[in-house]
Chains A and B, each alone.
Chain A
Amino acid sequence: MNAPLMIANAEPSPAILEVRDLTIEFATRRGTVRAIEHVNVSLAKGETLGIVGESGSGKSVTSYAVMRILDRAGRIAEGSIIYSGMDVVAASDSELRDLRGREMAMIFQNPRAALNPIRQVGRQIEDVLLEHVQTTRADAKQKAIAALEQVRIARPEERYHAYPFEMSGGMCQRVVIALALACRPQLLIADEPTTGLDVTTQKAVMDLVVELTRERAMSTILITHDLGLAAAYCDKIVVMEKGKVVETAFSKDIFRNPRHPYTRKLMRATPRPGAALRDLLPIESIGEAPTPTTPWPTAGDVLLQVEGLIKEYPRQDTAGLFSRVLGGRQEPAAPFRAVDNIGFEVRRGETVGLVGESGCGKSTTSMMVMRLLDPTAGKITFAGEDISTIPARNFATHPMRRRIQMVFQDPTESLNPRFTAARAIADPILRGENLGRDALRARCEELAGLVGLPVEFLDRLPHQLSGGQKARVGIARALALNPDLVILDEPTAALDVSVQAVVLNLLQDLKVRLGMSYLFVSHDLHVVRLLCDRVIVMRSGKIVEAGTSQQVLETPAADYTRQLIEAIPHPPV
């Protein structure tokens, strides 16, 4: 399907932004690359438009072009961009500078990095005001403080003097929003503004953006890879794939009636209430559910038991001996408890989800269960044996090592850049058994087949593999020794949503086929609901709630759990 699908009854309200036939090229070492081709986007006044696509779709490039802040290597090859009647492509640099910040503004993905690290945040807002608005410095300071107040920052007169490193991620994003809205622009472009933020912060930020833009009757473009997020907050959605627009539709229609195959695939892959794991896959690729080859006792006996687990870190006391002598004695602060006395169990054949926001201690817990980190106190029993007494540095050569394995979060970082895929998968086997070259290769190919990695990719280096392929290599490596328990540490967080759907189904199939148990660590409640039998919610090192998935996610007992669930954007289904 080449022609983009347009909405049936387009409303004739005045368009504030008209992008027609836009094509952008980048000059790279390998020649000219077309980032987007013949893109058409139209935004009416007061409308909120979502541009949705996976990585490489060109969604960010399109918005950078609208503001003409492309990289040096980028060039508008064809097409036109008309903003409020003005031709952006032909405009001069000074005309554009006038537009930027005053008429159109942008907020970005990583808020702390988007602010000048050594300049007070109030001064940064002031700089924008002084540039565009006729005002004195004293007046600009008042306006800056007012801007901070509008984004719900408490004690704005004090926060005016704060530096970005003194603020949390959520607060930094609010400052970025204040910066963008300071001169009251008509158009706001939000480029993945919530990626990387905690789930609860995400909702707060999105709600704030929507509230402020509605209040001022602004037009907004929201760029995101999350179709659910876009559908929940936008009026209209544009779907992009590989640099082209494939579909434009109202958000209420896009879930009910997606027309382009890619949109359908994307929609299906988005975790949403009422969808089971299988439903995430494109219809064509749903095969039969695999039958378990190794029968395991249902609701089996306890495989892993954690009791009274504590991990403490001493507070940073960077002063050396002399500094302390010269600077006066100080009380050493109480140590910081990353994990504060938790206990739980995982039974055979189960998938237990460990959920929480960043800093809650779930990763630390999983590292201790993995025996990569020593607990300060507590007991970890695996298959009846107490493994917490064996120090982490000795566990590598312990016979129990092969029975607990891990799939890591970032597929790129978890593969040795100098090992081919085959060598990486073979590493655990080489350390344990003594197979000949042919037997080893055969086993690698068998594992590759299990995870759906084509055999010809086995001899590639990591930088020659895609994200999904690297994830499969990581999984194959974890399975190489037939472990009983696999800890999955946010294994799909860095993957596109369509790839995520495939990998999650793969993990489920493998669990059934090989009779393993999973401990699934994640911050994404949707994914947890799909995969886990039981869920444990953590916060600040403690367990807040635990129970079956259904219990915890549909009828949460704790307030915090409720907060987490409410923060998930609900697409109109």
Chain B
Amino acid sequence: MTILSEAPPQATKPAASGMMAMVRHTQYVLAENPVTAGSFALFVAFLIAAILGPSIVPYDPLASDTAAALQSPSARHWFGTDQLGRDIFSRVIVATRLDMTIAIASVVLVFILGGFAGIAAGFYGGWTDRIVGRISDTIMAFPLFVLAMGIVAALGNTVTNIIVATAIINFPLYARLARSEANIRREAGFVHAARLSGNSDWRILMFFILPNIMPLMMVQISLTMGYAILNAAGLSFIGLGVRPPTPEWGIMVAEGAAFIVSGEWWIALFPGVALMLAVFCFNLLGDGLRDIVDPQRRT
């Protein structure tokens, strides 16, 4: 057992609680780590593209102009045009909204379902644990993308079903993470102390356990957002889920695939790069979010 040092480890400034402290701490994290700041900026850019996209793009993403088909990038069409003469730049920007919606919706869904199931399983044990475990194990018995294919194929080709399928295949990950974190803390001294103070089980879950597992869940959330986008794009690539002519990064890459062998690279490249940047941004965001939420990083 390590002997605790007597010297107080941190600076003498007291930690204020509340919104002001959160904002100040966020600023500190961003200032200290330029990579995190960069990924935040990129995330904001994506959000702007998603929200304002359709209103600010130069061309109608669905308008086809066969005369202008298959033009390489130029001053008129920054990303070129596809086989139907549609402006790729506009389509890429507008697609942001759909892909971000899918990502955020599926992550929120699985965070709520998986998070709560996992915490309950880890905290109460017994039958709750066994049932959640069985469900997780059954889902994990499938290769996840294949299961998503099966679900969307069975339920039908809609965006909602992509969201549902993505949430289902990520459920075990969240449930396991939440479960193991809750399990570790179940026997921690401060949880016992909370009981001694008269806190009911529900209060302990809400105020003692959940806030302490948030940092890890935060990292997981942003990683899953990236994975959700890749998943949706992959499903669209093979013809499941989002259907043409709706602009979505995955479909656009699929449409461009046919033209790559004949050298028209721009149709597939730009949506692919957009995909890459979005996922990359979410992955980097995860670390930054954890730093913000973890109280031990506060000085």
Contacts and interface: CB of A to CB of B under 8 A. Distances in A.
Chains A and B touch each other in the complex, with CB atoms below 8 Å apart: yes
Nearest to B197: A428
Given A494-B2, A499-B6, A420 B17 contact: yes
Interface stretch (B175-183, B185-193, B237-245): B185-193
Nearest to A110: B1
B7 A494 contact: no
Given A56-B7, A408-B192, A465-B8, A431 B199 contact: yes
Contacts of B296: 417, 461, 463
Given A417-B296, A496-B4, A499-B6, A406 B190 contact: no
A396 B200 contact: yes
A329 interface: no
A466 B298 contact: no
Nearest to A470: B4
Given A397-B200, A459-B15, A372 B195 contact: yes
7 contacts: A54-B6, A417-B295, A428-B198, A461-B298, A463-B296, A474-B193, A480-B197
Interface residues of A, number: 57
Contacts of A416: 190, 194, 208, 212
Contact of A396 (B1, B6, B11, B199): B199
B199 A427 contact: yes
Contacts of B17: 420, 423
B192 A372 contact: yes
A56 B190 CA distance: 26
Contact of A467 (B4, B194, B198, B199): B4
Interface in B9-53: 9-11, 14-17
Nearest to B17: A420
Q: Which of A56, A411, A413, A474 has the most CB of B within 10 A?
A: A413
A244 B211 CA distance: 41
Interface string A455-469: 010011101111111
A463 B5 CA distance: 12
Contacts of B200: 396-397
Given A402-B198, A428-B197, A463-B296, A412 B1 contact: no
Interface of B: 1-11, 14-17, 188-190, 192-201, 208, 211-212, 295-296, 298
Contacts of A100: none
A561 interface: no
Given A406-B192, A417-B296, A55 B198 contact: no
B197 A477 contact: yes
Given A409-B189, A464-B9, A494 B198 contact: no
A53 to B, nearest CB: 10
B6 A56 contact: yes
Interface string A250-271: 0000000000000000000000
A175 interface: no
A397 B200 CA distance: 7
Contacts of B198: 396-397, 401-402, 428, 431-432
A459 B3 contact: no
A273 B198 CA distance: 41
Contacts of B192: 370, 372, 406, 408, 414
Nearest to A460: B14
Contacts of A410: 189
Given A55-B6, A467-B6, A494 B212 contact: no
A48 B10 CA distance: 37
A493 B1 contact: yes
A464 B6 contact: no
Given A396-B198, A427-B197, A464 B211 contact: no
Interface in A170-197: 195-196
Interface in A468-493: 468-470, 474, 477-478, 480, 493
A495 B195 CA distance: 25
Nearest to A195: B1
Contact of B10 (A432, A464, A480): A464
Contact of B189 (A414, A456, A469): A414
Given A396-B201, A418-B212, A470-B4, 12 more contacts: A195-B1, A225-B3, A406-B192, A406-B196, A408-B192, A413-B188, A417-B190, A420-B15, A428-B196, A459-B15, A463-B9, A467-B4
Contacts of B199: 396, 427, 431
Nearest to A196: B1
Contacts, number: 134
A429 B196 CA distance: 11
B4 to A, nearest CB: 3
A25 B19 CA distance: 39
B9 A466 contact: yes
Contacts of A459: 14-16
B149 to A, nearest CB: 30
Contacts of A413: 188-190
B207 to A, nearest CB: 8
Contacts of A195: 1
A460 B15 contact: yes
Nearest to B296: A463
B4 A412 contact: yes
Interface string A192-221: 000110000000000000000000000000
Q: Which of B189, B199, B295 has the most CB of A within 10 A?
A: B189
A393 interface: yes
Contacts of B201: 393, 396
A370 B192 CA distance: 10
A405 interface: yes
B3 A495 contact: yes
A474 B4 CA distance: 15
A55 B190 contact: no
Contact of A496 (B3, B188, B196, B208): B3
A415 interface: yes
A396 B192 CA distance: 10
A411 B190 contact: no
Nearest to A394: B200
Contacts of A427: 193-194, 197, 199
Nearest to A396: B195
Contact of B4 (A372, A420, A494): A494
Nearest to B203: A431
Interface string A407-448: 011111111111010011001101110000000000000000
Q: Which of B5, B6, B194, B295 has the most CB of A within 10 A?
A: B6
Nearest to B299: A464
Nearest to A428: B197
Contact of B5 (A408, A456, A466, A493): A466
Contacts of A468: 4, 6
A411 B208 contact: no
B4 A55 contact: yes
Listed from nearest, the 3 A-B pairs whose CB atoms lie closest are A467-B4, A414-B189, A431-B198
Given A405-B196, A416-B212, A427-B197, A463 B3 contact: no
Contacts of B6: 54-56, 466-468, 496, 498-499
Nearest to A402: B198
A461 B194 contact: no
Contacts of A460: 14-15
B189 A417 contact: no
A420 B296 CA distance: 12
B4 A414 contact: no
B33 to A, nearest CB: 12
B128 to A, nearest CB: 14
A425 to B, nearest CB: 10
